[in-house]
Amino acid sequence: MLPTMLTKALALAFLVGQAIAEENPGSYIPYADSGCTKAIPDSTYDLSDLATGVEKWRIRKGYPAFTQFKQAHFPSAKSAVGGSGKQVWWKLAKAPDTQCRIVMMQRYSQLSYGDADPKQPPGNIFITAGMGTTGCFFSQLRDGVDLMTTYCCGKADCEQLSMGNGALYRRDEAGNFSFIEGSVEAAPETHSRVGSAVARAADMVAKEEARRDLDDVVASTSLIEERATVFNPKEWTKCKVSKNQGAHTSAGKQTIIGNVQTCTSPPCTFAVSQSIDSSTTLTRSRSVTITNGFDASVSFSGGITWPVKAETTVSAGYHFSAAIATDTGTSMTNGRSTTVSNTFGLQIGTTGFATFTPTLRCFTVEVDCGGGSTNGWHQCNPVFNSDGKTLQGDYNVVYIG
């Protein structure tokens, strides 16, 4: 017990110093020009009367929590070509710590999210700033858009906000972000980091312990499932859906689909094409142990996503997914990949990359394998266009610094 307490005390002392040194994430300020010299004076959003000026757009929470700016309007901003929204440039009131990133998101067009990935951010990222820069980042936003901001200060959290671009969380020997141009390596508000340095450091210790515990559970889950299937895989073929809440549309994972590009002289248009995973997914947000009526059980940890692949047909997870597919009249795409292609443009003097967010058709159900029903299972399939080959979803440009 004493060594454990000592280890925790040392970790807390170290993280107190780290938390004290961590810069306040500050605010994103909207501007009307590419030089970020003309602030937009009439920008508004719901409840914005609670703060004015720089404070109005302050980033108050770090990932996985986020700060919301609902129903944002920018009346004096320049209208985009064709009238599809407003052109707004964003600059940070002060540069973030070189070991942190600050992102800005807009709500998914699909509205719902998190069914295929419980750790999914609440919207499509369109700005990600790091490396100690205040930047001047472009955006094209529709009137009344819901915006969100958050920040991350560690590899694990920043990886969740990287969209599959390893350059956004890889670090150099000093621990700072190591961005390499042209390279690609392919929720509800749960807590706030506002408060004393000691409180924030303690929170960081707790998060790290929880992450280690989750890793242990993941390892044991695989072992438990293997033992169950080796014992008698046929015992899990009797699973069925006991309650089905019906289908709903959800946003899939926002994924980079091309190299990082910089616009040095117009016109700046870039063709992108990349294969992304389009297989069936099965998730559950909380840990659970399933029994099947034969004195056999399988434990699953919450927050883990199980892609359904052909080689997992002997697993309990596969039989849960098969039962849902049978009940809902859907198919199971096993290990399928689909190529998405498009052309995107950048503003002069900016750096960014293209992403794709697939539209998913999901079911939330209860599953019974003979030992009682368990709820909270989410099974999702990508939505294809009428040609049966191309995916439905949203293309976005992410501006970075």
111 and 186 assigned to the same domain: yes
Q: In sequence order, which ranges of 45-171 are alpha helices (DSSP H)?
A: 155-160
Whether 297 has a pLDDT exceeding 80, the answer reads no
pLDDT attached to residue 218: 35
Which residue shows structure tokens 């858009």? 145
Domain count within the chain: 2
Q: Examine residue 353 and state whether it is found in any structural domain, yes or no.
A: yes
The model's pLDDT over 64-96, given as tens digits with 9 standing for 90+, comes to 899 899 999 999 999 987 767 899 999 998 877
pLDDT tier at 361, thresholds 50, 70, 90: very high
CA geometry: angle 199, 205, 209, nearest 5 deg? 145
Residue 290 lies in a domain: yes
Cα–Cα distance measured from residue 88 to residue 40, given in angstroms and rounded to the nearest whole number:
9
The reply to whether 7 and 139 lie within a common domain is yes
Residue 179 lies in a domain: yes
Per DSSP, 232 falls in state -
226 pLDDT above the threshold of 90: no
| pLDDT, position 37 | 94
pLDDT in tens, 122-148: 999 999 988 678 889 999 999 999 999
Q: Kindly indicate the confidence band of residue 3, based on its pLDDT and cuts at 50, 70 and 90.
A: very low
pLDDT for position 30 = 93
User: Are 190 and 241 within one domain?
Assistant: no
149 with 263, same domain: the answer is no
Q: Are residues 42 and 155 both part of a single domain?
A: yes
Q: Is 331 in the same domain as 275?
A: yes
Its pTM stands at 0.77
Range of the structural domain that residue 266 is part of:
232-396
| Residues 32 and 78 sit within 8 Å (Cβ to Cβ) | yes
C-alpha–C-alpha distance, residues 257 and 335, integer Å: 19
Same domain (yes/no): 174, 289 = no
One domain, residues 140 and 32: yes
- At residue 44, the pLDDT reads 86
Percent of the chain with pLDDT over 70: 69
Give the total residue count for the chain: 401
Judge whether residue 319 has pLDDT over 50.
yes
Q: Is residue 218 part of a domain?
A: no
The arithmetic mean of pLDDT across residues 93-120, rounded, is 88
> 128 or 308, which is more confident?
128
Residue-level pLDDT at 147: 94
Are 57 and 191 members of one domain?
A: yes
Measured distance CA(235)–CA(369) in Å, rounded: 9
36-66-181 Cα angle (round to 5): 50
Least confident of 48-52, 161-165, 175-179, 268-272: 175-179
Chosen domain end from 202, 220, 254: 202
Range 174-180 average pLDDT = 47
* Helix pair angle (197-231, 316-328), 10° resolution: 90
Question: Which pLDDT score is estimated for 225?
Answer: 39
* pLDDT computed for residue 322 by the predictor: 82
Among the residue ranges 56-60, 71-75, 351-355, the one predicted with the least confidence is: 56-60
Quick check: 161 pLDDT over 90? yes
- Say yes or no: 12 and 134 in one domain: yes
Contact indicator for 367, 377 with CB cutoff of 8 Å = yes
pLDDT of residue 112: 92
Residue 167 sits in the same domain as residue 255:
no
Predicted confidence band at 48 (pLDDT cuts at 50, 70, 90)?
low
Same domain membership, residue 241 and residue 179: no
Q: Give the pLDDT confidence score for residue 45 in this predicted structure.
A: 86
Q: How confident is the model at residue 267 (pLDDT cuts 50, 70, 90)?
A: confident
Boundary (domain end) residue, out of 186, 202, 218: 202
